[in-house]
Amino acid sequence: ILGAKEDDAESITNNSRSGRVCPALSRLPERKLSDRSMGWRKSDDVVEEAMRKSLLHDLVSDSRASADQVVPWFMDNMPADYFDQLNKDVWYVHLKALSALFEMRETPNLQLTSPCLNYITFLKPHNYTGLLSEMIKELPQHRSPTSVRLFTSLDTYLAVNVFGYGEQNLAQEQEIEGRYWPKLKEYFDERKEPLDQPHLFTKEALQEYLRKCPSSYLNLCSAQRFIKQRIQYEKVKGGEHVDVQIERNYKFHSREDGLSLTLLSIAAHNHKTRVTLETFSAYLASAHLDIEFLYVDRIVDEGGAVDVMSILVRDPPDATNEAWEVIRQDLQRVKWVDDAALQAFNSSSTASFDLQQAEILCALCNMLHGKMNVESTKISLEQMLNAVYAEEYSLVAADLTILFEGRFHPKHTMPLQKQEALVKDLRERIGLIVHKRIRMLFDMMLDVVSTSRKTNLFVPNRRGLTISVDPVQLQTSKHTAGVPYGVFFTHGRRCNLFHVRFREHSRGGMRVATPNGPEEYTLRSQNHYNEAYGLAATQQAKNKDIAEGGSKAVLLVKLPQVDKQVKTSKEEKKTGEELEIMQKEKESYIFRSVRMMSDCLLDLICPAEDLQQHIVAYGNRQEYIYLGPDEQILPVHINWITQQAKDRKLPYATAFMSSKPATGINHKEYGVTSEGVCIFLDVALRNIGLTPEEEPFTLKMTGGTSGDVAGNAIKILNRLYGENARIVGLVDHRACVEDPNGLDHGELLRLVNNDLNLGDFDTKKLSSIGAFHTRDTHEGRTMCDSMHNRIEANAFLPAGGLPNTIRKDNWEKFMKADGEPSAPLIVEAANIFIEQEARVKLTENGVLIVKDSSANKCGVICSSMEIMANLLLTEPEFVQFKEGYVKDVLDHLRNLARREADLMFTEYKKTAGDDMDWSKSLPGIAERISQVMNSTSDVIVHQLPETIDQTEILELAKSALLPSLRTKSGDKLKVVAKGYINNLVAKWLSSQLVYHEGLDYVQRSIPKNKLAEASLQYVEETKRIDKMIEKLRGHGIEEEKEIIELIYQ
């Protein structure tokens, strides 16, 4: 049970401060202690007088005079539940402390810690609003309690709060069979009212549930509370929702003074108890709800636990049922609300905002942080939040939220005329704001609010706030790739996500950014949209070979250490245990954020009627999102996202997320991205005069052995070239290894195959001139961060690292002192490692760059191939089909990479040595290839329905499939969305033209209004030539090979 054992009595840490002395504890009428538990704890049959005498005897040696007053007051004023829930040893410790303080005329203000550190008790002079929230801040940061008991004396002069730590003992079979089940059975038999959800209370169901409950909880829990919390547990287990039940006019057996009370019963899954308490207590304080008692217990669930809470609060004056419903809904959502919004709601200066409105304002500030920091305008996120929550601007801010709520309220949608009038009024009032930056901020917020397309604001049980934003509102001069088709912004607790897509049907990965410190977080926050936009634009360029356009989701997570580093300026050395705790905490935050953001995206794309009735959409268009894995997305995340899409009835659930471990083609397992990267590297090396299979060449790489692209590139290079591929420098997030003689392949492959990072590199494998640096020191970090510039090599493969690592302000560091580049060739295996301005400068100074949109395109092509199979096959069919299909996909990827690489260098050689403009440079040609193929397919997709009917389009779509899938899927293409099919055919026709005939032919020889017709004719002619060649084969013609090559030319 919660009470400490006799040999574990709590020691007193006297944190008392002088203040008002608890009065001489006036006597209340005599009270009998009663056993309010289910009777599972054997009754002591101790009458109150005997207890008084016993306690007086124990305390007599300390101070009889104090005890004479304290003990009677204590017995009369502590609620019966205090004596039920805690044992006598704990009463004694509390009484001893109170007696000592009373004798010294000190206010009770103590923190008591048991020697084993398993219990921390706070004794406070009286209960008041926000007391619990204050106490939680004083608890150890690195530990989370497993049980909590909060009691208030009947005269309100004392608050006793006990926090239990350590592993809880779960109920054992002997206890379940001998005590708990018989007692429950007896109660059920005597109960007159039928049980809700009786299937939860069968013997088998209860036995399974009881095994998950701590004995301390079962020993002290009333039957009524047990039943209620059993039902609540079932509602939230295995998920992340919060269930809140409210019972008004609750009759508390310890209260006979007519005080109006309300009981809150809460079940919250998969959260640290400390965080749960912090969040709920902060909300209760802001809602001005005084806590009479609070019980928290933790019940085991697969993959986590459920906190079950009973909180008795005093009714605020004039509380209505409607007000309590708002409180209930807020409590169900508050764990997902960001700290900034919750703090604003808590602040007395923002009384004009409710929690939802505070959340809306917080989301808008996070969304616009980047746009507010372009050009010369500089403002921190904290300054933005302070401005919108300031009393000076509260009326404007409140009306902005009213406009947002009114536009999207599903039952009380604000009429368009009223919307327009409110927008006009707000615009005029914003124009009167004197401060320029704040005026700009409110103007931008109004633009977003008045033009947004849809939101999940009124979706029940939403995790975060998602807004489909008009992309025009986020555009700046930096966004040169055009206005995206759509932008989703999602805001939640300690995380934000931008999803940017350039076509209706778009594909791109989701990556997670986890800055390590406040400065890095600020930088990533300011560039959040720019990063998502840039990655999506790059994805649009590389998706030229597949049905989908380009998109990208960037999830920015604010880890707890970001806050901790704000509080200390000095660098602290962490122990191994602390680093392990931080890593687990990081993984937990990432997974929680991934779940939150993915579910919020599903809110806006699932067509289910029961969901759509809560959404008002402007534009009335169906939204399609296709995700894939990127940085820090793990198989467990992929599986969860896919299953959630199925559970929420997304029609294309299996296609929502690619690279699924079982029913997908995992990028890291098969090295799909790296296969293409190595093809581009191979072609590039040959074009600078190296024959890699015959002579050694040197490489430097970022990304590391545990990374997808870098790790697989190491394996493929070893497979293709053996020791000829000399990796002279390699860096990742932990360390950097360098060796001019080339790093040991066996050691690198050991790390790759065991998914180990460079921190585990065996330095004995380095030559005498090799070097090893870790990021644990300032010097080590400097060496790691400069490796890609310092080391000389034939080629550089950036296969990991921060976006825009090489920028316009530091590109010269890549050059040697003599003006020559440290590597004459760069193959961009990682997206936007090089900023465009820097790419131009490096090209002008003689560096050949294979651009990211070409070099790493095979990853997304593989995802598209996987998803097409998912759309056409059942999961069992795909699993059976997978092995052979993967081989076909890998061959297809290598073929597409080589076709583009050959085309790129063929076009480059046409003007090599001339004074070239950017379009004739190697990266410029890569951009041209993407631009020509995408613009050609865009024209074709609009002309197709006017040129041939849909049946013929479906036949062409079959030709675009890999042969094995074409045979396996039969006629199932007709179930795929029409827009997707048309895009598939258009991209296939475009690639046939461009790869075979070149850029000039497509751009100059075919009239734009005849592109669809010409491409269809081209395909027919290609089929006719293929048939001719088939007839030539096998007839023993001596010049057969030369004839076939001539025909294809």
Calculate the alpha carbon distances from 503 to 8, 597, 625 in Å. Answer: 66, 21, 10
* CA 162 distance to own-chain centroid: 34
Q: Please give the pLDDT value at position 350.
A: 52
Cα separation, 466 vs 486, in Å, equals 13
Quickly state the pLDDT bin for 24 (edges 50, 70, 90).
very low
Give the full edge-to-edge strand order of the sheet including 735-738: 771-774, 735-738, 725-731, 697-702, 795-798, 825-827, 848-850
Q: Please give the pLDDT value at position 723.
A: 95
Weakest mean pLDDT among 140-144, 146-150, 974-978, 1007-1011: 140-144
Q: Are the CB atoms for 830 and 516 separated by under 8 Å?
A: no
Q: Please give the pLDDT value at position 582.
A: 76
Q: Please give the pLDDT value at position 304.
A: 80
3-state secondary structure of 156: coil
Q: Please give the pLDDT value at position 54.
A: 60
DSSP code per residue over 252-301: -TT--S---EEEEEEEEESS-HHHHHHHHHHHHHHTT--EEEEEEEEEEE
Mean pLDDT, rounded, for 531-558 = 93
Q: Please give the pLDDT value at position 285.
A: 83
DSSP 3-state helix, strand, coil percentages of the chain (rounded to 5)? 55, 15, 35
Q: Is the pLDDT of residue 569 over 80?
A: no
Mean pLDDT, rounded, for 547-557 = 95
Q: Which residue blocks in 851-1005 are alpha helix, DSSP H?
A: 852-855, 858-872, 875-909, 922-947, 950-960, 963-969, 978-997, 999-1000
- What pLDDT digit, counting tens, does each position of 327-337 carry? 999 999 898 99
Q: Tell me what percent of the residues of the chain surpass a pLDDT of 70.
A: 88
Q: Are the CB atoms for 218 and 168 separated by under 8 Å?
A: no
Question: Where are the strands (E) in 354-494, listed by range?
Answer: 454-455, 465-469, 486-492
Quickly state the pLDDT bin for 216 (edges 50, 70, 90).
confident
DSSP type of residue 640: H
DSSP type of residue 588: H
Q: Are the CB atoms for 509 and 952 separated by under 8 Å?
A: no
Q: What is the CA radius of gyration of the chain?
A: 34
Predicted TM-score (pTM) of this structure: 0.81
Q: Please give the pLDDT value at position 741.
A: 96
Mean pLDDT, rounded, for 56-78 = 71
Q: Which residue blocks in 648-705 are alpha helix, DSSP H?
A: 653-656, 667-670, 672-687
- What pLDDT digit, counting tens, does each position of 901-915 carry? 999 999 998 876 666
Q: Is the pLDDT of residue 1040 over 70?
A: no
Q: Please give the pLDDT value at position 1001.
A: 86
Mean pLDDT, rounded, for 3-15 = 34
Helices (H) and strands (E) in the chain, counts: 41, 23
Angle at 666 between CA 665 and CA 671, to 5 degrees: 105
Beta bridge mates, 848: 825
Cα separation, 168 vs 98, in Å, equals 29
Weakest mean pLDDT among 37-51, 282-296, 937-951, 1029-1043: 37-51
For the chain, the residue count is 1049
Q: Is the pLDDT of residue 38 over 60?
A: no
Three-state SS string over 21-50 comes to CCCCCCCCCCCCCCCCCCCCCCCCCCCHHH
Q: 354 — phi, psi (to 5°)?
A: -90, 180
Q: Please give the pLDDT value at position 889.
A: 95
DSSP code per residue over 749-770: HHHHHTT--GGG--GGGS-TT-
Q: Are the CB atoms for 120 and 160 separated by under 8 Å?
A: no
Nearest to 731 by CA among 798, 829, 632, 648: 798
Cβ neighbours of residue 613 closer than 8 Å, sequence gap 6 or more:
410
Mean pLDDT, rounded, for 753-764 = 95
Q: Please give the pLDDT value at position 257.
A: 60
Q: Is the pLDDT of residue 443 over 80?
A: yes
Quickly state the pLDDT bin for 39 (edges 50, 70, 90).
very low
CA atoms within 13 A on the CB side of 7: 0
3-state secondary structure of 163: strand
Cα separation, 543 vs 573, in Å, equals 45
CB-count exposure of residue 455 (10 Å: 0-12, 13-18, 19+): buried
- What pLDDT digit, counting tens, does each position of 907-959 carry? 998 876 666 688 889 999 999 999 999 999 999 999 999 899 888 999 899 98
Q: Is the pLDDT of residue 802 over 90?
A: no
Q: Of 98-112, 251-265, 419-433, 658-672, where does the model show the most confidence?
A: 419-433
Instruction: Name the average pLDDT for the chain.
Output: 86
Mean pLDDT, rounded, for 510-525 = 91
Give the full edge-to-edge strand order of the sheet including 159-164: 11-13, 110-113, 119-124, 159-164, 147-152, 291-301, 304-314, 261-269, 242-248
Cα separation, 761 vs 736, in Å, equals 9
Q: Are the CB atoms for 803 and 534 separated by under 8 Å?
A: yes
Q: Please give the pLDDT value at position 254.
A: 56
Q: Is the pLDDT of residue 258 over 70?
A: no
Q: Which residue has the higher pLDDT, 177 or 352?
A: 177
Q: Please give the pLDDT value at position 837.
A: 93
Q: Are the CB atoms for 897 and 905 separated by under 8 Å?
A: no
DSSP type of residue 806: B
- What pLDDT digit, counting tens, does each position of 828-880 carry? 999 889 999 999 999 999 999 999 989 999 999 999 999 999 999 999 999 99
Mean pLDDT, rounded, for 974-988 = 91
Mean pLDDT, rounded, for 523-529 = 94
Q: Is the pLDDT of residue 192 over 90?
A: no
Q: Which residue has the higher pLDDT, 390 or 1?
A: 390
Amino acid present at 623: E
Q: Please give the pLDDT value at position 137.
A: 81
Mean pLDDT, rounded, for 263-275 = 84
Q: Is the pLDDT of residue 87 over 90?
A: no
In the structure encoding, which two tokens stand for residue 285, read together?
A: 């304080």
Cα separation, 772 vs 736, in Å, equals 6
Cα separation, 90 vs 95, in Å, equals 9
CB-count exposure of residue 1011 (10 Å: 0-12, 13-18, 19+): buried
